[in-house]
Chain A
Amino acid sequence: MAIEGQIALTVLMGALLVGVAVWLTRLEDWRSYTPLAGGAGGAIGDESAHVHEEKPAGIIRWLTTVDHKDIGILYGTYALIAFVWGGLAAVLMRAELATASLSLLNNTQVYNALLTSHGITMLFLFGTPILAAFSNYFIPLLIDADDMAFPRINAIAFWLLPPGAILIWAGFFVAPFTEAMTTGAATSWTMYPPLSVEQTNPSVDLMLLGLHLTGVSATMGAINFIATIFSERGEDVGWSNLDIFSWTVLTQSGLILFAFPLLGSAIIMLLLDRNFSTVFFAAEGGGTILWQHLFWFFGHPEVYILVLPPMGIVSYVLPKFSGRKLFGFKFVVYSTLAIGVLSFGVWAHHMFTTGIDPRLRASFMAVSLAIAIPSAVKTFNWITTLWNGSLRLNTPMLFCIGFISNFIIGGVTGVFLAAIPIDLVLHDTYYVVGHFHYVVMGAIAFAGFAGIYYWYPMYTGRMYQRTLAKWHFWLSMIGTNLTFFAMIILGYAGFTRRYATYDGLTVGPVEVITAMHQAATLGAFLLLIGQIIWVWNMVSSWIDGPKVEDGDPWNLAETNMKSREWAWFERKLDTTIATDGGAEEEPLADGGEPTESDES
C-alpha cells in the first residue's frame, strides 16, 4: 500500500515537473532574445535580424537571462544570501562559546551542524559564487568580449547553485518535521570517514548531493571562463596586456578543472559507502586515509581557487588608488601561475598527524614552505606599489590595505604550520582556525568588499554612502583581528577546535581561555554589526543613492589609470535610453559568428 502511494506521488510529481516545463516553454519566445538569436537554424541571415532589443521585464528577465552581467548580479545576490546564512551560523557558534557550558543551543549536535554548515556554506556557496559574480560581470568587459563563450552554459552553471544550497541546508529545514533527521549534517566540512559514513542522519546524503551540484556548477563555470579568456578576447587584448584579474581567474579556472571533478568522484564514493555498503573508505577497503588524500587533493587547491581571484582584485584595484601602475606586473602573473602549479603539491600538510610516511611528510613540508615564496612575491609587489604611490584612502582602497595586512598575518601563521614539528603541536587547535580565518575572512572577504565597493557605481549606476562604508571597513577590520587573534592565542593555549563547550577544563590556563573565547565572541559581534551596516548600505544605496553621471567616478583618468570597463561604462551612460536599465548600445545578438553554443 505504502509503496503504491509512493509511486502515485512520484508520478504526480513527474507530471507537475512536465507541466512546469511546458509552461516555461510557452511563456516567451526564448530564441528571440538569446545572444545568438537566429543562429540556431544555422542559416546565416535567416532570422538574425529578428532580435529583441530589450530584455523581458520583471522576474522573467532574471529567470531567463543569459547576459553575463545579469548572471553576475545573480551570482552576487546568491552569494550574499549564503554569506548571511553562513555568517549567522558563525554568530550562533560564537555566542554559544561565550560561556563555558551549553547555554544557547539545544545540544552539541546542533553546534556541530552549524559548524559544518558554516564551513561548507562559506567555501562553496559564498566564496566560489562571489568570485564568479565578479568574473561573470567584469571579465567580458575587461577583455572586450561580447559575452561569455557559452552564455547558456553560464546560466545553467548558476541555476545549479540554488538547488545545491537547498540540499546542503536541507537538514535544518526538514529536521523539525521528521523523526529520521536529527538536524543538519554534522560531519564538519572535511567529511572525514568513518564519522561521515556512519552518521545515519539522511541530511548528510542531501548535503553530499548538494555539494555535487555546486561542484558541477563550478566546473562548468571554469570551462566557460577558460574558453572565454582564450577565444573571446577583443582584437587589441593580447596575452601581454591581459589584465591581472583575468589572469588570476584563468589560473583559478584551471585549478577548478583539476580539483572539483575529483571532489565529485570522492563524494560519489562516500555516498556509495553510506548507502550501498561499498568499502571505499572503510578499513577493509581503501581505508579512511584514502578519503583524506582525495579530499585534500581537492581541498588544498580549493584554498587557492578561493584566494587567487581576490588577489587579482587587489592587484587590480590597489594601483587605481595608488596613482601608479602595479609594480612588477609580470612577476605578479608568474607568481599566480606558480601558486597554481604548487597548490597541487601541498595537500598532505593537512595530514601530518595521521601517521603517513615521514619521508612523504618532509617532501610536503618542503613544497608547503615553497608556496610561501610566490605569495610573498605578490605581497612584496603590492607593498612596493603602495611605497611609491600617492594613496587615496577611499573604501575600496582601505579594504585592499586591510587585505594586505591581514594576509601577512594569515600567511606568516601559515608558514609556521607548514613546519612538521610545529604542526604536530598546533594541529587541530584554534591556531589553525585563526590562521585560515585571517586568510578567508581577513583577506578573501576583504578583497571581495574592495571589488564590491570599487565597481558599485558601475553595476548599480549609483554611489554608496561613504560614511557607512568606512564604518563597515573599521568594524570589519577590528572585528576580524579581535576574533582571529584571540583564536591564535587559544591555539597556543592548546585549546582544541570544534568543541561546543569547555566547562570541564582542568588543564591549561582556564581563565585565559575563557577570556579569549569571550574576546573572539565580541569580535564576531563587531563583524556582525559591520556586515549589517554593509547590507543596509548596499541595498538602500541601490534604491535611492545618488545617481552616477560621470563615467569615471573614481577620477582614474587623472592618474592615467582608467581602464576598459570604465570606458564601457562611460559609453553606456552616454547612450542609455530609458528602458529598464538593462539596455546598452552593444548589440546583444551577433548572428553572423558561429560559436560552440550554437550547437548546444
Chain B
Amino acid sequence: MSTLSSRAISGRRAVLVIYATIVALAALFGALVGLVLPGKENAPEMAGFGPFVFEITPLNFAVYGAVNVGLLLGVLLLLMAAVSKKYPNA
C-alpha cells in the first residue's frame, strides 16, 4: 500500500477524447432540439445561421450542432495547442 500510480496516458489523447465527446453531445443535443421544436406552437419551418438555412429536422439540427460546437471549440483547441507550443514551460 505504498503507491497508487496507475498507467499514464498522453494528455493530448485525453483532451481530444473530451473534445470528441462534447461535439458528439452537441450533435445529440441538436437532434433532440430538432425533435422538440416542431411540436411547439408557432414553430417556424426553417431555421439557420446567416446564409445557411435549413428545415428543422433532427438530422439537420444534429449536423448544425456538431459543426457549430466543433468549429467553436476546435478553434479554441488549435489556439490552445499553439500557445502551449510557444510557451511549453509557462
Using a CB–CB distance below 8 Å, which chain A residues touch chain B? 322-323, 327-328, 380, 383-394, 401, 404-405, 408-409, 463, 466, 481, 485, 488-489, 492-494, 507-509, 512, 546-550, 553-555, 558
Instruction: Name the distance in Å between A482's Cβ and chain B's nearest Cβ.
Output: 11
Closest to B77 in A: A383
Closest to B35 in A: A512
The listed residue (A394, A408, A507, A512) touching B22 by CB distance below 8 A is A408
B residues near A549, Cβ cutoff 8 Å: 1-2
Given A392-B8, A512-B32, A550-B2, 7 additional A-B pairs, CB 8 A: A387-B11, A387-B15, A391-B8, A394-B4, A481-B25, A485-B29, A492-B36
Taking A405-B22, A485-B29, A508-B40 as contacts, is the C-beta distance between A380 and B76 under 8 angstroms? yes
Cα(A408)–Cα(B15), bound, Å: 13
Taking A380-B76, A405-B22 as contacts, is the C-beta distance between A512 and B36 under 8 angstroms? yes
Name B's interface SS.
helix
Interface residues of B in 1-32 (CB under 8 A from A): 1-12, 14-15, 18, 21-22, 25, 28-29, 32
Q: How many interface contacts (CB-CB < 8 Å) are there between A and B?
A: 110
Instruction: Decide if B47 is an interface residue (CB 8 Å cutoff).
Output: no
The listed residue (B1, B6, B33) touching A393 by CB distance below 8 A is B6
**Once the chains bind, are B36 and A327 in contact (CB under 8 Å)?**
no
Cα(A554)–Cα(B36), bound, Å: 47
Instruction: Name the distance in Å between A409's Cβ and chain B's nearest Cβ.
Output: 7
Taking A380-B80, A384-B80, A405-B21 as contacts, is the C-beta distance between A492 and B10 under 8 angstroms? no
A residues near B35, Cβ cutoff 8 Å: 509, 512
Instruction: Decide if B75 is an interface residue (CB 8 Å cutoff).
Output: no
Instruction: Decide if B71 is an interface residue (CB 8 Å cutoff).
Output: no
Taking A485-B29, A492-B33, A509-B35 as contacts, is the C-beta distance between A386 and B11 under 8 angstroms? yes
Closest to B11 in A: A389
Instruction: Name the distance in Å between B29's Cβ and chain A's nearest Cβ.
Output: 7
Using a CB–CB distance below 8 Å, which chain B residues touch chain A? 1-12, 14-15, 18, 21-22, 25, 28-29, 32-33, 35-41, 73, 76-77, 80-81, 83-84, 87-88, 90
Instruction: Name the distance in Å between A519's Cβ and chain B's nearest Cβ.
Output: 10
A residues near B32, Cβ cutoff 8 Å: 489, 492, 512
Instruction: Name the distance in Å between B23's Cβ and chain A's nearest Cβ.
Output: 11
**Once the chains bind, are B6 and A494 in contact (CB under 8 Å)?**
no
The listed residue (A323, A389, A463, A512) touching B1 by CB distance below 8 A is A463
A residues near B25, Cβ cutoff 8 Å: 409, 481, 485
